Amino acid sequence: MEKPAPIETVSEWIAQAQRIIVFTGAGVSTESGIPDFRSPGGLWDRYDPEEFYFQRFVSSEKSRKMYWKMHAELYGLLTSVKPNPAHKACVELDRFDRLECVITQNVDNLHQEAGLPAEKVIEIHGNALQVGCLECDARHTRAEIQGWLEAGEEVPLCRKCGGLLKPTTISFGQAMPVDKMQEAEGRMKRCDLFIVIGSSLVVHPAALMPAYAKASGARLVIVNLTETPYDDKADLVIYGKAGEVMAEVIQRAKQLIVT
């Protein structure tokens, strides 16, 4: 008997599933035109990542000025990109009433822009378009802070308490958000299908999540351009572009669910 094609298999598993978690990484963002920080032409080609450790940000005015200069460049990029078919596939899964949540390593807000409800997105590395005070936790939009920077402020400070402001992204040396990690862990215990899209699964502790889901009894599917350390643990691996693969998967799954 001929083995079903990978696209067909994933589509059938989606149709059968009740609680799907999608885990997205940099490969999803790059298809919208956001370079991987580590890739040629990425931010770490032009800036030394050593300068952006959290403790340096907190302790050095020079590092804070450099950070905000870098972030102004990133902000310009983030406001020019649009969601791609991989983001839209996650929205379709939610419309199928099968999506438990999306856990994302990305900080670009594109899942929400694609139409996914914010409560369905767990941003374990934060969001570059939101800014928080490190002292009182007052919140601002990144657009508001951009106005301050363009008005001449090199290091914006909290208007409420005078504390340091920083985008809610997780910097090198900064603790992962406990609440987000706990929420992700709790949801993983309930899911029956865990789909990794566009992640090399090498950044820890996030990279351990597929193993947690698998250990909890979920099927594990990995969609990525290149091999990952978890390919041998997956129930199915598809090598390809995230958007192209997921567009095909959703098209087929829609037929199965409708019929």
Strands 20-24 and 99-104: parallel
How high does pLDDT run on average in the chain? Answer: 92
Mean pLDDT for 221-240 is 96
CATH number for position 39: 3.30.1600.10
| pTM across the whole model | 0.92
Element (H, E) at 99: strand 99-104
Share of the chain above pLDDT 70, in %: 93
Residue 98: which pLDDT band, with cuts at 50, 70 and 90? Answer: very high
Q: How many helices (H) and strands (E) does the chain have?
A: 11, 9
Number of compact structural domains in the chain? 2
Over the stretch 61-95, which tens digit does the pLDDT of each residue have? 999 999 999 999 899 999 999 999 999 999 999 99
Q: At what angle do helices 242-258 and 85-95 cross, to 10 degrees?
A: 20
Q: 190-218 pLDDT, tens per residue?
A: 999 999 999 999 888 888 899 999 999 99
pLDDT value, residue 207: 83
Say whether both 208 and 239 belong to one domain.
yes
Catalytic one of 71, 87, 125, 140: 125
* Domain end marker among 168, 190, 220: 168
Query: Which one, of 232, 236, 190, 183, lies nearest residue 213 by Cα?
Result: 190
Task: Read off the pLDDT of residues 23-52 as tens digits, 9 standing for 90 and up.
Answer: 999 999 999 998 776 666 666 566 677 778
pLDDT exceeds cutoff 60 at 259: no
Q: What pLDDT score does 52 carry? A: 84
CATH of the domain at 92: 3.40.50.1220
Percentage of residues of the chain with pLDDT beyond 90 = 85
140 and 256 together in one domain: no
Q: Please report, as a single letter, which amino acid is at residue 91.
A: V
Q: Are residues 227 and 140 in the same domain?
A: no
204 is catalytic: no
